[in-house]
Chains A and B, each alone.
Chain A
Amino acid sequence: MTQTEIWTEKYRPTKFENVVGQHEIIKRIKSLVQAMNIPHFMFAGPAGTGKSTLALIIVKELFGEHWKENYIELNASDERGIDVIRQKVKDFARTKALKNVPFKVIFLDEADALTREAQQALRRTMENYTNTCRFILSCNYSTKLIEPIQSRCVMFRFKLLEKKDISEVMKKISEKENLKLTPDAFDAIYEASEGDCRRAINLIQATAAISMDINSDMISMISASAKPAGIKVVLDYALAGDFINARDKLLDVMLRESVSGSDVIKAIQKEIWTLQIEPEIKVRLTEKTGETEFRMIEGSDEFVQLQALLASFVLAGQGKAI
């Protein structure tokens, strides 16, 4: 097998024993896998906590060398329509497993991005092909999946990785890649990763592309350069009452950084607490921000909801009631 150059792949664990964190989940899944029969699984939890990794380990343990023929992985956030379910999923699910394996496995990543219509189709598919196929669904929020799907799965809730978990992975990588990390670099990586192991590994590889000796300043520099910059500028314009400029800058940031509305909301929510405004107003703005996030899920045009939020910042900037 050729060695991959991308560290998130190179250092992806291939055995249950090597996965960091999620010990309870692994214990339970392991015993199900050893019995050679698994139910449908739902893995709920934040990004970079081991959902895809575990799915891969499960099929490798179940099917050994034949795992590739009996496994597909689809990402619902890239292909979220009903077509994916009707065509790819159904076609794969309805044919029998190959090479003496009892069933196939479909891993549907970010399943919460599926449209409702697609979820309905998925529900039927899960029922109809239960003899030939098992599903592993991953999602950030299980509540975005319709009830009948949730009830067909055994649910596991993944937690954000702790500092010791991330540090363990970083230590292993730095040994294999001959990197020298200062102790505070570990802190900085964990801070920037926010418990997301994929981000942590990407961060260390990006930094290693510049230097083999890594300290916390370098980590902060690299992670800052990759953050959706400019949200602060947007809010400053809004607070100063210049709505049109705030709006233009917001669109620029979103397009330039390819960030979605919910990423912007997250950034705004954090930024509020660093602004020079009355604490009572910060609380009100946070409430508005949360409300906006909710409305974005309901509506069809995120940017309109964000503009409504910016209008609240204009009021806040003048000390007016929001």
Chain B
Amino acid sequence: MHHASYAEKYRPAAYADIIGQETAVEEVKRFLKEFPKRKGLILHGPAGTGKTSLALAAAKESNYEILELNASDLRNRAKLEQIVKPAAEQKSLFKKGKILLMDEVDGVTGTDIGGVPELVRILGTTKYPMIMTCNDVWQSKLSPLRSKCKMVEMKALPLSTIITILRDVAQKENLDKEISFFSQLAIKSQGDLRAALNDLQSHFHEDSVVDVTEKRDVEQSIFNILRKLFKERGDFLGLFDTTKLSLDEIFLWIEENIPREYRNEALARAYYALGNADVFRGRIYKDQSWRFLIYQNIFQSAGISYAKKVPVQNFTKYEAPKRILKIWLNNQKTMQKKTIAKKYARMVHCSMKRTMRDFDLLRPVFKKESVQKQLKFSPEEIEFLAK
């Protein structure tokens, strides 16, 4: 079968293929098991986190038929009454049950007059579970649905999960790339797997020459930024507008290269400024106080530039950030360590994090056969401990 996009081609077919959303998967399973305790479920979260995939996988796993309406369909009252309502009340033709999937309900707008109230009515009478997806569940027009439905959040996928999936897909497509390439796509995706897969695909079809030029363009622009910040003295408040890279990506580039440029007092002042930028970024994350963005911006531009007393003119070789990559590689290596810690932590009423910290102390204990049996270690875990 030919698929237009990787995102479609590699859409997970089973629960087990949905990576990094274990809680959401459990919640959907439970919802279907307990139906009709609750008739509707809303999967909400950022784009590309697997909302639609999860709904489709649920139908497959339960051997249910699926009736799907998405934003491309007109979903006004008449249409819903004509299509969804009968489906919700009639028996499925061939299979035991069905799932009504209303994809992207936040897209039910303007022209879909009476759409949301009709969905609420259908929820009242449906004989089948209804799953809805949306990005922002808190908008007011969805409030009548919220009170009637179970809500399950799907989070942006962690970097390491996206890298793992990208590598996996690339391997299946015989696409040979460096690990740093995947990590760059993953950073750029900001947790949106679909975007990452689309990027991956575009790189596959592109001529490799184009690929290199684009990379060179981005690097050129970031190198220019770094040169200005590190060599000259100035406010440079609009400087970051000249690149496609996000403020957080630039942050990593600056962090990597401060010690390649600055020494002693300038080094300390530059890191202090970057630390300030990070403190404000922390406040943005914690309280969604986006007005602090300007402070992050100033500290990581003017703060870095004025860390030195006088401009410099020598040549410095800048390097791409390596930290994220190192963390990811390490995660791969310590997968077993984590699963061991998880099993142990559950047994002894303590956190996995704490167990990870005490891992070396506990290692002789984990090596005992009786303990391994009690904690049901897998062969891989036992092998990891033997190393």
Q: How far is the CB of B314 from chain A (nearest CB, A)?
A: 17
User: Is B272 part of the contact surface with A, judged by Cβ < 8 Å?
Assistant: yes
B23 adjacent to A258 (CB under 8 Å):
no
Report the Cα distance A4→B370, complex, angstroms: 9
Tell me if B352 counts as interface (CB < 8 A to partner A).
yes
A116 to B285, CA, bound (A): 11
Stretch of A15-23, A35-43, A310-318 at the chain-chain interface: A310-318
B368 at the interface (CB under 8 A from A): yes
Tell me if B326 is interfacial: C-beta within 8 Å of chain A. Answer: yes
Minimum-distance CB pairs A-B, first 5? A226-B361, A308-B271, A209-B364, A258-B356, A299-B278
CB-defined A-B contacts under 8 Å, sample of 8:
A86-B151, A87-B23, A203-B361, A206-B361, A209-B367, A251-B326, A299-B279, A314-B267
Contact A202–B279 (Cβ < 8 Å): no
Residue A180 interfacial (CB < 8 Å):
no
Q: Which of B27, B267, B368 contacts A311 (CB 8 A)?
A: B267
Considering only CB atoms, which chain A residue lies closest to B153 in the complex?
A: A83
Chain A-chain B contacts (Cβ-Cβ < 8 Å), number:
151
Check B282 against A226 for contact (C-beta < 8 Å): no
Residue of B nearest to A52 (CB): B349
Contact A78 B345 (CB under 8 A): yes
B385 is an interface residue with CB less than 8 A from chain A: no
Q: Does A5 contact B (CB under 8 A)?
A: yes
Residues of chain B lying within 8 A (CB to CB) of residue A277:
none
Task: Out of A87, A202, A307, name the residue touching B358 (CB < 8 Å).
Answer: A202
Write the chain B residue with the least CB distance to A318: B264
Which residue, A6, A199, A255, A257, has most C-beta atoms of chain B within 10 A?
A6
Cβ A198 vs Cβ B350 within 8 A: yes
A110–B355 alpha-carbon span in the complex (Å): 14
Q: A5-B374, A300-B282 are in contact. Are A308 and B272 (CB under 8 A)?
A: yes
Q: Residue A244 at the B interface, CB < 8 A?
A: yes
Task: Closest B residue to A56 by CB, please name it.
Answer: B349
Residues in B neighbouring A301, C-beta threshold 8 A = 278, 281-282
The answer to whether residues A244 and B361 also contact, given A4-B374, A75-B352, A83-B153 and a CB cut-off of 8 A, is no
User: Which residues of A lie under 8 Å from residue B27 when comparing CB positions?
Assistant: 87
Cβ proximity bits A1-17 to B, threshold 8 Å, 1 near / 0 not: 01011101100000000
- Whether B363 is near chain A, meaning CB under 8 Å from some CB there, is yes
Q: Inside 8 A of A226's CB, which chain B residues have their CB?
A: 358, 360-361
Are A307 and B265 in contact, CB atoms less than 8 angstroms apart? no
Scan residues 332-382 of chain B and give those whose CB is less than 8 A from a CB of chain A.
Answer: 334, 337, 344-345, 347-354, 356-365, 367-368, 370-371, 374
The residue on B at minimum CB distance from A2 is B374
Residue in B closest to A228 when the chains form the complex, CB atoms: B357
- B-contacting residues, A238-278, CB 8 Å: 241, 243-244, 247, 251, 255-260, 263
How many angstroms between the C-alpha atoms of A273 and B275 in the bound complex? 25
Measured in the bound complex, the distance between the Cα atoms of B327 and A75 in whole Å is 24
Given A222-B361, A247-B259, A258-B337, also A315-B330 (CB < 8 A): no
With A75-B345, A198-B350 as known contacts, state yes or no: A304 contacts B278, CB within 8 Å.
yes
The one of B23, B264, B351 in contact with A320, judged by C-beta atoms closer than 8 angstroms, is B264
Cross-chain contact B271 with A307 (CB below 8 angstroms) = yes
The 8 Å CB contact of B349, one of A109, A209, A303, A320, is: A109
Asked whether B255 is an interface residue with its Cβ less than 8 Å from the other chain, the reply is yes
Is B241 in the interface zone, CB < 8 Å from A? no
Q: For the complex, what is the distance from the CA of A315 to the CA of B344, rounded to whole Å?
A: 43
Chain B 261-287 against A: per-residue CB contact (8 Å), 1 yes, 0 no?
Answer: 001110110111011001101110111
- Per the bound structure, the CA–CA distance linking A320 and B267 in Å amounts to 13
Q: Which residues of A contact B91 (CB under 8 A)?
A: none
Contacts of B141 in A (CB 8 A): none
Q: Are B279 and A295 in contact (CB under 8 A)?
A: yes
Q: Is the CB of B268 within 8 A of A202?
A: no
Closest Cβ–Cβ distance, residue B30 to chain A (whole Å) = 9
Contacts A257-B360, A295-B278 known; 14 new A-B pairs at CB < 8 A:
A6-B365, A52-B350, A83-B23, A110-B351, A243-B259, A251-B326, A255-B327, A258-B359, A263-B357, A298-B282, A299-B279, A307-B274, A314-B267, A315-B264
On whether the beta carbons of B348 and A6 are closer than 8 Å, the reply is yes
The residues of B that contact A312 with a CB separation of less than 8 Å are 268
- Bound Cα distance A298, B265 (Å): 24
A320 near B275: Cβ-Cβ < 8 Å: no
A289 at the interface (CB under 8 A from B): no
